[in-house]
Amino acid sequence: KNEVEQSPQNLTAQEGEFITINCSYSVGISALHWLQQHPGGGIVSLFMLSSGKKKHGRLIATINIQEKHSSLHITASHPRDSAVYICAVMDRLEYGNKLVFGAGTILRVKS
């Protein structure tokens, strides 16, 4: 079983829809990251969180430490949101900034 599981693997949405991507992990963590990767490879960090909820524009990330679960929400989705969304965790028992990644969720938003 992978340490970090994401669902769904693929997601197609209509423009304007509310989107949720889920991430579950099995280790104790010091922080969780949500990353966005567009075709071409570059990765952008969307959020880093260790508790509660963060919001940036149309993006919201939540984490429940007790349940070892995080969600990424996109409100009023737009075709430019089409990308791969990756959840990554930092194991609190590991020294340094090592990240363990989920397999990613491929999101396609149709206009």
Partner 1 sequence: KAGVTQTPRYLIKTRGQQVTLSCSPISGHRSVSWYQQTPGQGLQFLFEYFSETQRNKGNFPGRFSGRQFSNSRSEMNVSTLELGDSALYLCASRPGQNTEAFFGQGTRLTVV
Instruction: Confirm or reject binding of residue 39 to partner 1 (CB under 8 A).
Output: no
Instruction: Confirm or reject binding of residue 31 to partner 1 (CB under 8 A).
Output: yes
In sequence order, the 6+-apart residues with CB closer than 8 A to the CB of 23 are 4, 5, 6, 32, 34, 69, 70, 71, 72, 87, 102
Closest distance between partner 1 and the C-beta of residue 98, in Å? Answer: 5
Give per-residue burial for 23-50: e unless 16+ CB within 10 Å, then b: bbbeeebebbbbbbeeeeeeeeebbebe
Closest distance between partner 1 and the C-beta of residue 64, in Å? Answer: 19
Indicate which single residue of 12, 45, 51, 75 sits in contact with partner 1 (rule: CB under 8 A). Answer: 45
Indicate which single residue of 10, 41, 67, 111 sits in contact with partner 1 (rule: CB under 8 A). Answer: 41
Instruction: Confirm or reject binding of residue 40 to partner 1 (CB under 8 A).
Output: yes
Nearest CB to partner 1, comparing residues 19 and 46: 46
CA distances 84 to 34, 103, 109, Å, are 11, 10, 12
Of 12-20, 32-40, 52-60, 65-73, the segment contacting partner 1 by CB under 8 A is 32-40
